[in-house]
Amino acid sequence: MRSLLLLTTLLAGIAQAADPITMDVYRDPNCGCCKEWISHLRDNGIQVRDHEETNMTAVKMRVGVPYQLGSCHTGVVDGKFVEGHVPASDVLKLRERPDLLGAAVPGMPIGSPGMEMGDRQDAYQVVGVAQGGKLSVLSEYPAR
């Protein structure tokens, strides 16, 4: 009986790890970089429900994106916001951080996913947002 319980627990953990991530992405219908970011997410195994939105400010306010971290598009995954050109690898890290409300790449840094321009990459950070607006750096990407 104990072996069966252990096996059931193990299989449940494997199933959860294998659960695909689905993200709702809200974007202006005329934004090209938003479409490129969505392609990046899909290329990295994240399922995307694409929503064209005319009032992005209302979306950002509804999901709790701090004003100073704003960018052009907003995603929601597992109840957390993903603001701007956050790499798929950092989106996956959100599942490991129950303390965070979301993650953001402020602005539109060249070289971030969806903002590629040849080999150029500006330095940028992925910022995590916790309760009370406390910010922390989740990842740093150097200039090259």
What ranges do the domains of the chain cover?
A: 22-141
Taking 70 as the threshold, does the pLDDT of residue 15 lie above it? no
pLDDT digits (tens, 9 = 90+) for 30-84: 888 999 999 999 999 999 999 999 999 999 999 999 999 999 999 999 999 999 9
Confidence bin at 16 (pLDDT 50/70/90)? very low
Architecture of the domain delimited by 22-141? 3-Layer(aba) Sandwich (3.40)
Q: Order of strands, edge to edge, in the sheet holding 22-27?
A: 47-52, 22-27, 74-77, 80-84, 100-105, 124-130, 135-141
Please tell me the distance from the alpha carbon of residue 44 to that of residue 22, in angstroms, as a whole number: 12
Task: Note the pTM of the prediction, 2 decimals.
Answer: 0.85
Task: Please check whether residue 53 is in contact with residue 67, taking contact to mean a CB–CB distance below 8 angstroms.
Answer: no
Instruction: Check: CB of residue 80 under 8 Å from CB of residue 98.
Output: no
